[in-house]
Amino acid sequence: MTGGLVMKKIWQALLAHYEGVKHRPILSLFDDTARAELFTARAGEMVFDWSKTNIDADARAMLLALSEASGVAAKRQAMFSGETINETERRAVLHTALRDLEGTVIVGGKNVVAGIVATLERMEAFAADVREGRFTGQGGQITDVVNIGIGGSDLGPAMATLALAPYHDGPRVHYVSNVDGAHITDTLRGLDPATTMVIVASKTFTTIETMINAQTARDWMSKVVKNTDAQFVAVSMAAEKAAAFGIDASRVFGLENWVGGRYSMWGPIGLALMLAVGPTRFREFLAGGRAMDEHFLQADFDHNLPVLLALVGIWHNQICGYATRAVLPYDQRLTRLPAYLQQLEMESNGKRVAMDGSDLTIHSGPVIWGEPGTNGQHAFYQLIHQGTRVVPCEFLVARHGHEPDLAHQHLLLVSNCLAQAEALLRGRSLAEAQAIMETKGLVGDELERQARHRMFPGNRPSTVLAYPKLTPFVLGQIVALYEHRVFVEGVILGINSYDQWGVELGKELALVLQPMLEGKVSSAGKDGSTQMLVDYLKV
């Protein structure tokens, strides 16, 4: 039987199995007292509990067979070895090499790790100069850093900088991404141009939003600073364009084309993060990512966190048909994690054709969304608990917080996280709701009506990722875990997770529409809706 036929047979078996168990109470699976342990996996001190899903031993075996039949192991080796797995752009995919500082990774006959280490050491030396006051602005020591980028040049480092706030001991770091002038205006307000450094982060140094914001920052700085170029830094592949902008080569940190934007914070795109937390903490972040790489490479699939997280995602999206996935960190400093994962997962696996260009016969990646707990409990959890659609939930929670004097608040936070997962699992039966209403003195039809409003269907799946504390090392583990989850899901779906052609068309059309909005070009030929809106919004 060919690989394609094997895959088709497993998909069909999974779908048939789901049909037979979809109405089964997940809670009934815990009749097996060993279930919690059997459906929990560990990587170091990190624990992934996926027992509160409707995946039983048979489904797990089929999902593991699916991962084997799709060639995850071979593709994994190809990625780590530097082979050209991004076939549409003819590139290797080597963000993992940015954290493998003692390894050997050959691309084009050359070990690229030496160059990675050299760039990291340049970043560290520069960061030390800024943090220790040897590199200054016109007004003295740098107090603020503004990172200007968008997409992968913003979401990752912005998320990580907020996540590691307890470790900030350098200049204040700010992020600007949106071309909306409000973003840069509000960010620069209150900063001193004479002690502010600007990082322009753009792989090509042509990203329109980034370059317009960079010019705006330069104009702002020039009102106070004579030589603005001396306070600008570039993170880019395009050294010549950075030089033309006025940035000295000593302050240009290069990128490689085998690192995709949304996977790039491990290298020079992480410079702003390094400035905030220091080189030592940044290396701890890299070490956490590398530890997850080693786990992904070495652990058997049935105990492999990235593989299991991916298989849970495949079960919920492609088998059960749940179109969205809620990421719910019970960790306030992971506020930006859902937004970061939106790009990581939806830009990677939001595809409609297979690697060979044929149409997908199954849905690709789900919609990712979420907010931190407990805030979400007072917002959208109503829909999660009692809405008509099932939303698989992925909780993240730390055993310890960073505020020992507020340990009682952290205990309440953790209690809420576990309670939400249990509530999704158990629900509340109509009989239980009726009993509650009886204690309030209700009878007859009114009791029935009020009870129905208080009934929870339950039987809604969730997973919990628990870790000791949100340190740089643990954050590195979490980010690498989700990167590899995207990879595994992409391999199983037979798509290229490392291109993003879907972002191009809108950019091209925006360039055509801008002169129309300026009144320089007629909007004739556009659809009626676009013409009407151009006329209304015309400058």
Reference 418, options 43, 42, 51; nearest CA is 51
Catalytic-residue membership of 226 = no
* Rounded-to-integer distance, Cα 232 and Cα 198, Å: 5
Which of 182, 187, 189, 186 is CA-nearest to residue 199? Answer: 187
In this structure, is the dihedral angle defined by the CA atoms of residues 70, 76, 79 and 81, taken in order, positive or negative? negative
Given a contact cutoff of 8 angstroms between Cβ atoms, the answer to whether 462 and 395 are in contact is yes
Q: Are 253 and 122 in contact (CB under 8 A)?
A: yes
Torsion of CA 508, 509, 512, 513, to 10 degrees: -140
How far is residue 460's CA from residue 301's CA, in Å, rounded to a whole number? 25
The sign of the CA dihedral 118, 121, 123, 129 is negative
Structure tokens at 286: 């890299």
Count CB neighbours of 315 within 10 A.
24
Which candidate in 22, 110, 363, 507 is catalytic?
507
At 240 the three-state DSSP class reads helix
* 373 CB burial (10 A radius; 0-12, 13-18, 19+): buried
* The amino acid at 530: T
Which DSSP string do the residues of 157-171 spell out, in sequence order?
HHHHHHHTGGG--SS
Q: Write the DSSP symbol of residue 141.
A: E
Instruction: Please indicate whether residue 507 is annotated as part of the active site.
Output: yes
The residues, any chain, with a CB within 8 Å of residue 50's CB and separated by 6 or more, are 39, 40, 41, 308, 309, 312, 463
Residue 528 CA to residue 44 CA, distance in Å, equals 58
Among 284, 345, 347, 371, the one annotated catalytic: 347
* Pairing outcome for strands 144-148 and 140-141: unpaired
C-alpha span between 144 and 133 (Å, rounded): 12
Identify whether the C-beta of residue 234 lies closer than 8 Å to the C-beta of residue 247: yes
Residues 6+ apart with CB under 8 A from 244: none
| Catalytic-role residue among 23, 223, 226, 378 | 378
Contact 421, 393 (CB under 8 A): yes
Per the annotation, the verdict on 8 as an active-site residue is: no
Concatenated DSSP letters of 504-523: HHHHHHHHHHHHHHTTSS--
Can you spell out the DSSP letters for 246-312? Answer: T--GGGEE---TTS-GGG-TTTGGGHHHHHHH-HHHHHHHHHHHHHHHHHHHHS-GGG-HHHHHHHH
Residues 6+ apart with CB under 8 A from 243: 249, 252
Catalytic center residues: 347, 378, 507
